[in-house]
Structure 1
Amino acid sequence: MTFRRLARSNVRGNWHRYVAFFLSSTFSVMIFFIYAAFLFHPDVISGNIRAADKVRQGMILCEYIIVIFSFFFVLYSMSAFLKSRKKEFGLLSLFGMTSRQIAKLVLYENTLIALFAIAAGIGFGALFSKLFFMALAELLQVDTPIRFILAPKAIWLTVGGFFALFELITLFTLRNVGRSEIIELLKASKKPKSVPVFSKWLTALSIVCLSAGYYLAYQAKLNTIMLYMLPILATVIVGTYFLFTQASVAILRRLQKSPGLYYRHTHLVTVAQLVFKIKDNARTLFMVAILSAVILTASGTFYVLYLDTTNKALDHYPQSFGYTEREAGTHEIIHPDELRRLLTEKGQEIAYEVKLTGIPVPVTLEQMRNRQTEALLVPEEAYNRIAERLNRKTVQVEAGHAIYVFPYREVAVEFFPKGSRLETNADGKPLSFVMDGQLNGSVINTSVDYAGMLVVDDNEYAERIKGIPDNKRMTYYGFETRNWADSLTASQQIAGAIPEKERKRFETRVEDYLDYKQFNSLTLFIGLLVSVLFFVASGSMLYFKLFTEIQDDQAQFKALSRIGVSDEEIRKITGTQIGIVFFVPVAVGVIHAAFAYKSLGNMLGITVWHYGIIVMGVYAAMQFVYFALARRAYMKQLGQG
């Protein structure tokens, strides 16, 4: 028998071990090839596809992520496979095979799997590329469909890149093949395992690290997230590692000291075996927990940003169209009557209009590096009238007091705390206010001419405005239309009627909304494919970790059968153990993601729990399907022992 035939025979015989690794590798190749097919598409390279540059950089980043992730995934997988085959290598050595020949055999096996995975990945990639192009064309809103072309560069890059990746990792992992003595290899699976121990200090460290990471994540806001990011990642990763390597053993050993639970039904066998399984698989469970947290956090973030597109547009642009005149009573931008005419001409029905006149006063935002800007001083009654229409919070301000309204909800910085005093001036006349706090979220479109508003008592405003000429006042005009999402043509026509130097002060919701929507849709679409890749890989790690230990489990369950444990009880023990191995790291990842969602909500200024629960539910359902398939395959193989 030649090495090639022996390699093919080994792959067929161990297919139940290799299937998860093969499918994960195939999926990685498929996603990489689909992205490469778009990146090297002739119309993308020539610039014929409008807005393709918006996704090109994101796809290039995803390609790097896939390659880096595939490197570590393949390295881990091959190392685990070789470790589980020590007894087989010992037998081959006993029959006269040299270390060089064993390495050659493994190289043939891995090359065979790599070629099949690359071929299958490119085949499925070519099959789904058309659907991918159609979806992208819809998201990019291109005039004509993207042509179905499989660029030769994409094929050669995928084949060459992944073949080199597989072969290099194979050569790297083969360094340890054949270094052990034959007797050690033959007895590798029969070495008695010492009772797992744990460190109380490291267990306490895991609790402290996780608590610190969760606390920082819970408190993080937009202005502090960059400062907290690295400490959160460091403490959560360290805490998770010691949670599985130390705290898990401590918990299970504690259960063994609880007679009421430990000696009930089959718990004795289940817990006793779990102590060894969790300890042996601690690093795998740690990696799956971190991957689960990454998948849930990334997917949840993409999903929240996508669904929050409309809310974000409404927050930043309370009116569909708005502009600010520097001088009250003048219309250097556009006359309101002309704007109404153009809207009506384009089929836009006006729901309501707002007009707000105020006085620009200088303010200093110390928390933004002492930025010198202006706020619009407005009367309480005028502000409340618009706020009520928008279902926003109204205010009551006493004479000599003021409330600062910052335009952006997501910025959780208090520029003027309650009780502080603001010294400013209006047209050179000094003003002094006791601040009653701050509200986030403007009732009019954000303007380039001022940063927020100061709301004051009506009588005080009337007193302050006396003697201030019209050319020192600002007037905002806002128009809300009923079908604003379809008002792009109207927006472009109105912008064309405005003098070019004044266009930057004409603000329309629809253009930014469509940009937000397109970007967030593309991010969700591209990011979810990478998230699914991570999910498949994390499940595969658990799958082949189960099958690398199946020979030991077969021997243990045969022993249990001989002492009277029924097949039903063995299935119950096995199902419980597999369930714990599959779902404990997922549960830890869910908890990590929950605090990440809290940070995300703090940064966006919204509640994201209802979005996060949907993502977690979908992920749990997918994990359950993976668990059911793995359990079925494992039980079937276990019965053949």
Structure 2
Amino acid sequence: MNFRQFAVKNVQGNWHRYRAFFLSSVFSVMVFFIYAAFIFHPDVINGHIQGASGVRIGMLACEYIIMIFSFFFVLYSNSAFLKSRKKEFGLLSLFGMTNRQMHKMIVYENTFIALIAIAVGIGFGALFSKLFFMAMSELLQVESPISFYLAPKALIMTAAGFFVLFQAITLFTVFQIRNSRIIELIRAAKKPKTLPVFSGWLVLLSVLCLGTAYTIAYFTTAQKVLFVVLPVIFLVVLGTYFLFTQSSVAIFRRLQRTLPVYYSGTNLIAISQLVFKMKDNARVLFVVAVLSAVILSASGTFYVFYQGNKDQMMENYPHTIAFAESGSDAHRVIDPAKLKEVLQQEGVTIASEMKLVSVPWPTAEAAGKNSEAKANPRVVPLLISEDAFNREVAAPGKLKAIQVERGHAVAVTPIPAEISKDSIAKGMTFTAQLGGSSIQLLVDDIREGIHIVPSMLNYKGFLVIDQGQFDEMMRRLPDTETYALYGYELDNWEKAGPAVKKLEQLVPKYQQSYFVSRVESYLTLKQMSSLTLFIGLFVSFLFFVASGSMIYFRLFTELQEDQALYKSLMRIGVSIKEITRITTLQIGLIFFIPCFVGIIHAAFALRALGNVLSLNVLGYGLVVIGIYLLMQGVYFLITRRLYLKQLTRL
């Protein structure tokens, strides 16, 4: 048996340690290759696929993320392997192996693993790239599916990039044992551990950091989010670090002093071990908790944007088609009769329709203001009657009806006052000459966040006034000084794109800005959000696999110590069933404690996102968290089975 064969045999003998690292590396290579295959696809490079250029930029960014993340992941993995094999290296040194030969053996082992991982990863990438191209074709809405093509550049970049990465890390890690003496290597696993201690001040600091960060995130607003995001991240990371390095030790030390719990069943053994395991694994659990928070926050954000697009679009565009006409009976934009005729020809049915006659306020002058504004419905508030609002807006949308006295008004605005500096404020008085007479309106109340028509057709919103006062105004004003707002809600509007395009062709170019539709905006937004979700979930899943693998590595690093401990316990009468229960509890806590900490972090992050977007993201967040817990549970069961299988080989 030559030296290379000896290295291969070592890999086979330590396969239970290499398994998770190998599978994680394969998945990283596979995702990287699939993205590269799309990036270097001829149709994408030549611009034959509409929208593919933007996706290509996003995928290039993901490639950098994957490579950087893989570097640190492989670095940590190699360090964990070397630590778990110090006794083995000490024995090999004792039998005459030189440092040079040991370094050579490690290089051979890692090269062997790297070549297989790269080959298998590219193989799976080639296998699934066709499915990936089909999915991208559907998301990009191309007429014919993207053809299957394995770009040579993708193959070369993936193979060369990961091979260099593996080799660079291998050369970096072999020097960790270059100065270790034989006796240190042999006794590495037998060094006595001191009882973990904690600082009460650092425990308090972790609570204060997390509490402050959560409070800021919970109450943040769209105006403040850019200023608080970095301080919140810093506080969360700092608090999480001390939570695992200090608070976890304090909690388990407290359990040791809680005698009814400590002396119940096998808790004495489990808690005593967990005191040491939580301290020894604190940094790993800290990293996994942060990764879990990143995974859940990113996935939750992608999912919120994907699922919330339709709700947001329905709110911003209360009608599928809306347009404004100068004059209540003029049809300079489009004739409603012609609109209905086109829709009927296209097989599109109208679910509901609205016609709202309004009067533009001639000036923007309010109490304390002297500015003048042109009579344009897009920059000044529009006056509408209370009956028209209650009939056309409140009834279909199930909003509260408005009752207003003569000389008073209720403002209805699409944008909250805290966002728009030009919003109408409660108590503001509007005074102007309208229809040959002076009129004054006092704003009694504000209804914010209500879109009567798309915001592109009205800038400052509406003033709802008394019906009698509005009728008198209409009798004094010529028809040319009024505006008619039309809105049509279509059945199955998501598929009404061809009909809407035909209607847009009938609108004169100089009137195009007064005709809006939610269909094209929704389809464009849905396409981009679907692509973002699709691409982002790949990277999020990669992070998830890596975070689970880090716990897997850590468990198997301590396998020999646990085997010796449980062998001693069996000698004094502890059964295999009890050992299994103790081990399951310990693995479960190590797996799920950082998971639940990450969930709490992500919950507050999604709360902040909901504040910024003015959306209730709780339902979306629960879906993402549920899927994450399910996957984490599956990973836990697999790891538990493999670990117990190795542990019981006493």
Describe the shift of the 1:466–1:104 C-alpha distance in structure 2 as closer, same or farther (beyond 3 A).
Answer: farther
Question: Structure 1: 5+ residue runs without aligned partners?
Answer: none
Q: Which moved more, 1:490-499 or 1:596-605?
A: 596-605
Give 1:568's aligned residue.
577
Describe the shift of the 1:508–1:434 C-alpha distance in structure 2 as closer, same or farther (beyond 3 A).
Answer: closer
Native 8 Å contact 1:245 1:279 kept in 2: yes
**How far apart are the structure 2 equivalents of 1:121 and 1:441?**
52
Shift of 1:463: 5.5
Give 1:250's aligned residue.
250
Which of 445, 454, 457 is the aligned partner of 1:436? 445
Describe the shift of the 1:395–1:99 C-alpha distance in structure 2 as closer, same or farther (beyond 3 A).
Answer: farther
**How far apart are the structure 1 equivalents of 2:150 and 2:418?**
45
1:156 aligns with 2:156: yes
Provide, for residues 587-611 of structure 1, a one-character-per-residue CA deviation record: whole Å limited to 9, x for no partner.
Answer: 1111112222222222332322222
Counterparts of 1:623-638 in structure 2 under 5 Å?
Answer: 623-638=632-647
Give 2:376's aligned residue.
none
**How far apart are the structure 1 equivalents of 2:402 and 2:84?**
70
Give 2:146's aligned residue.
146
Q: Which moved more, 1:386-395 or 1:623-632?
A: 386-395
Q: What's the RMSD between the two structures over aligned residues?
A: 2.4
Give 1:402's aligned residue.
409
Shift of 1:273: 0.4
SS at match of 1:357: strand
Describe the shift of the 1:411–1:6 C-alpha distance in structure 2 as closer, same or farther (beyond 3 A).
Answer: farther
1:477 aligns with 2:483: no
SS at match of 2:380: strand
Give 2:97's aligned residue.
97
Which of 547, 550, 556 is the aligned partner of 1:547? 556
Provide, for residues 10-52 of structure 1, a one-character-per-residue CA deviation record: whole Å limited to 9, x for no partner.
Answer: 1111100011011001001101111111111111111112222
Counterparts of 1:10-89 in structure 2 under 5 Å?
Answer: 10-89=10-89
Give 1:392's aligned residue.
399
Q: Which moved more, 1:478-487 or 1:412-421?
A: 412-421
Q: Output the amino acid matched with 1:47.
A: G
Give 2:464's aligned residue.
455
1:196 aligns with 2:196: yes
SS at match of 1:447: helix
**How far apart are the structure 1 equivalents of 2:234 and 2:601?**
13
Provide, for residues 49-108 of structure 1, a one-character-per-residue CA deviation record: whole Å limited to 9, x for no partner.
Answer: 222224222212211211121111111111222222222222222222222322221111
Describe the shift of the 1:394–1:526 C-alpha distance in structure 2 as closer, same or farther (beyond 3 A).
Answer: farther
**How far apart are the structure 2 equivalents of 1:470 and 1:18?**
81
Which of 358, 378, 381 is the aligned partner of 1:375? 381
Q: Which moved more, 1:115-124 or 1:435-444?
A: 435-444
Q: Output the amino acid matched with 1:392.
A: L
Describe the shift of the 1:422–1:10 C-alpha distance in structure 2 as closer, same or farther (beyond 3 A).
Answer: farther
Q: Output the amino acid matched with 1:636.
A: K
Q: With the length of structure 1 as denominator, give the TM-score of the two structures.
A: 0.94
1:602 aligns with 2:611: yes
Shift of 1:414: 8.9
**How far apart are the structure 2 equivalents of 1:173 and 1:506?**
65
**How far apart are the structure 1 equivalents of 2:433 and 2:317?**
27
Describe the shift of the 1:460–1:164 C-alpha distance in structure 2 as closer, same or farther (beyond 3 A).
Answer: farther
Native 8 Å contact 2:323 2:457 kept in 1: no
Describe the shift of the 1:401–1:92 C-alpha distance in structure 2 as closer, same or farther (beyond 3 A).
Answer: farther
1:111 aligns with 2:127: no
Q: Which moved more, 1:471-480 or 1:76-85?
A: 471-480
1:556 aligns with 2:603: no
Native 8 Å contact 1:417 1:438 kept in 2: no
Q: Output the amino acid matched with 1:313.
A: M
Give 1:511's aligned residue.
520
Q: With the length of structure 2 as denominator, give the TM-score of the two structures.
A: 0.93
**How far apart are the structure 1 equivalents of 2:162 and 2:74?**
11
SS at match of 1:308: helix
**How far apart are the structure 2 equivalents of 1:120 and 1:157?**
15
Task: Tell me the number of residue pairs that the alignment of Structure 1 and Structure 2 aligns.
Answer: 637
Q: Output the amino acid matched with 1:391.
A: K
**How far apart are the structure 2 equivalents of 1:418 and 1:254?**
56
Shift of 1:423: 4.6
SS at match of 1:334: coil
SS at match of 2:236: helix
Native 8 Å contact 2:386 2:402 kept in 1: yes
1:522 aligns with 2:528: no
Describe the shift of the 1:106–1:404 C-alpha distance in structure 2 as closer, same or farther (beyond 3 A).
Answer: farther
Shift of 1:253: 0.6
Native 8 Å contact 1:300 1:611 kept in 2: yes
SS at match of 1:325: strand
SS at match of 2:455: coil
Q: Which moved more, 1:107-116 or 1:220-229?
A: 220-229
Q: Which moved more, 1:260-269 or 1:96-105?
A: 96-105
Describe the shift of the 1:160–1:353 C-alpha distance in structure 2 as closer, same or farther (beyond 3 A).
Answer: same
**How far apart are the structure 2 equivalents of 1:283 and 1:389?**
56
Q: Output the amino acid matched with 1:260.
A: P
Shift of 1:355: 1.3
Which of 586, 590, 593 is the aligned partner of 2:599? 590
Provide, for residues 232-263 of structure 1, a one-character-per-residue CA deviation record: whole Å limited to 9, x for no partner.
Answer: 21111111111111100011111111011111
Shift of 1:541: 0.6
**How far apart are the structure 2 equivalents of 1:455 and 1:235?**
47
SS at match of 1:96: coil
Counterparts of 1:175-574 in structure 2 under 5 Å?
Answer: 175-361=175-361, 373-385=379-391, 386-407=393-414, 419-423=426-430, 425=432, 431-462=440-471, 467-574=476-583
Q: Percent identity?
A: 53
Give 2:648's aligned residue.
639
**How far apart are the structure 1 equivalents of 2:433 and 2:136?**
52
Shift of 1:268: 0.7
SS at match of 1:374: coil
Native 8 Å contact 1:284 1:541 kept in 2: yes
Native 8 Å contact 1:323 1:505 kept in 2: yes
Describe the shift of the 1:340–1:574 C-alpha distance in structure 2 as closer, same or farther (beyond 3 A).
Answer: same
Q: Output the amino acid matched with 2:104.
A: K
Provide, for residues 282-322 of structure 1, a one-character-per-residue CA deviation record: whole Å limited to 9, x for no partner.
Answer: 11111111111111122222222222232222112111111
Describe the shift of the 1:399–1:285 C-alpha distance in structure 2 as closer, same or farther (beyond 3 A).
Answer: farther
Shift of 1:371: 14
Describe the shift of the 1:97–1:600 C-alpha distance in structure 2 as closer, same or farther (beyond 3 A).
Answer: same
Give 1:128's aligned residue.
128
Native 8 Å contact 1:222 1:410 kept in 2: no
Describe the shift of the 1:371–1:251 C-alpha distance in structure 2 as closer, same or farther (beyond 3 A).
Answer: farther
Native 8 Å contact 1:324 1:447 kept in 2: no
1:166 aligns with 2:166: yes
**How far apart are the structure 2 equivalents of 1:147 and 1:327?**
54
Shift of 1:419: 4.4
Shift of 1:161: 1.1
Describe the shift of the 1:417–1:269 C-alpha distance in structure 2 as closer, same or farther (beyond 3 A).
Answer: farther
Give 1:7's aligned residue.
7
**How far apart are the structure 2 equivalents of 1:459 and 1:504?**
32
Describe the shift of the 1:254–1:133 C-alpha distance in structure 2 as closer, same or farther (beyond 3 A).
Answer: same
Describe the shift of the 1:46–1:419 C-alpha distance in structure 2 as closer, same or farther (beyond 3 A).
Answer: closer
